[in-house]
Amino acid sequence: MDANSLGTTSRLALLIFSAYLFNRTYSPPAGTFTLPPLGPSFSEKREWFTLRLCTYVYPFLRIGYAAVTFLECLFTSMTYLKNPSSLADYPILRIPLGLSGPPGWIAMLGLLTSVFGGLFRISCYKALGDGFTFNITRSSSKLITSGPYSIVRHPAYLALSLNSAGISIYHLSPGSWLRESGLLQHNVCKAVVGAWIFIIITMNICLGFRAEDEDRLMKSMFEEEWEKWRRDVRYKIYPGLY
């Protein structure tokens, strides 16, 4: 196997792994969670919105990303492991704009970031065990401060940000199927990508507010132990920023 084939095969493996991690990242580890009623306060309204986003939108995101990854893998294998002329038999895989070449280092950095974010999220699941839930509840009798929780106080939210940013960078970069296929020239595809970006930005804003609520809950539960952890781990989600 030459260097080009080895690089392409490695990229295919990372793409498939990223799809698996994306599914795990956007799925509750406990399987189910409770949908709260729409309350009068901003916090209750935000929680009502956030958990319905998880219930009704996340499944479509998982299916959509699986489909995009499948097409990306098919495009990559047929373009870089076979003769590109064979793409003529598959209209959705044609490259009318001309091939830009394999995704560059920025795209690959995005793909690696998405994989790291997914693995980081799973490490949060394992650290909290049964205490990890999509609901803000008194679900744990012990304050977890080790592992990913020694980096920031809400590492699962950092993991979501890294995963979503990483896959966005890769699939919107030159050399990816989405860019090379020319679909981004069509208004429908532009609207889908715009909706994806809107959902990701909205999700991160909601998670920022949610971190505040979780801090208040943990402070009331663990008091001095939480205060010591807050002094040791200063940042909520983004190291050095927030």
Q: Residues 103-149: pLDDT tens digits? A: 889 999 999 999 999 999 999 999 988 778 888 876 667 888 989 99
Average pLDDT over residues 153-158: 94
Q: Is residue 109 part of a domain?
A: yes
Q: Is residue 119 part of a domain?
A: yes
pLDDT tier at 39 (50, 70, 90 boundaries)? confident
**Average pLDDT of the residues of the chain:** 85
Q: For residue 83, what pLDDT is reported? A: 54
pLDDT tier at 88 (50, 70, 90 boundaries)? very low
Q: Is residue 240 part of a domain?
A: no
Q: For residue 225, what pLDDT is reported? A: 92
Q: Is residue 128 part of a domain?
A: yes
Q: For residue 139, what pLDDT is reported? A: 65
pTM: 0.86
Cα distances from 116 to residues 119, 158, 161, in angstroms, run 5, 11, 11
In whole angstroms, give the CA distance from residue 48 to residue 212: 16
In whole angstroms, give the CA distance from residue 148 to residue 91: 45
* Residue 81 clears pLDDT 80, i.e. is over it: no
Q: For residue 96, what pLDDT is reported? A: 47
In whole angstroms, give the CA distance from residue 180 to residue 185: 10
* Residue 97 clears pLDDT 50, i.e. is over it: no
Q: Is residue 237 part of a domain?
A: no
Tell me: the pLDDT tens digits for 209-224?
889 989 998 898 888 9
* Residue 166 clears pLDDT 90, i.e. is over it: yes
* Residue 91 clears pLDDT 80, i.e. is over it: no
Q: For residue 100, what pLDDT is reported? A: 64
Q: For residue 162, what pLDDT is reported? A: 95
- Give the chain's domain count: 1
Q: Is residue 21 part of a domain?
A: yes
* Residue 153 clears pLDDT 90, i.e. is over it: yes
Q: For residue 99, what pLDDT is reported? A: 63
In whole angstroms, give the CA distance from residue 63 to residue 66: 5
Q: For residue 29, what pLDDT is reported? A: 82
Q: Is residue 164 part of a domain?
A: yes
Q: Is residue 239 part of a domain?
A: no
Q: Which domain holds residue 52?
A: 3-232
Q: For residue 8, what pLDDT is reported? A: 84
Percent share of the chain, pLDDT over 90: 37
Average pLDDT over residues 171-194: 87
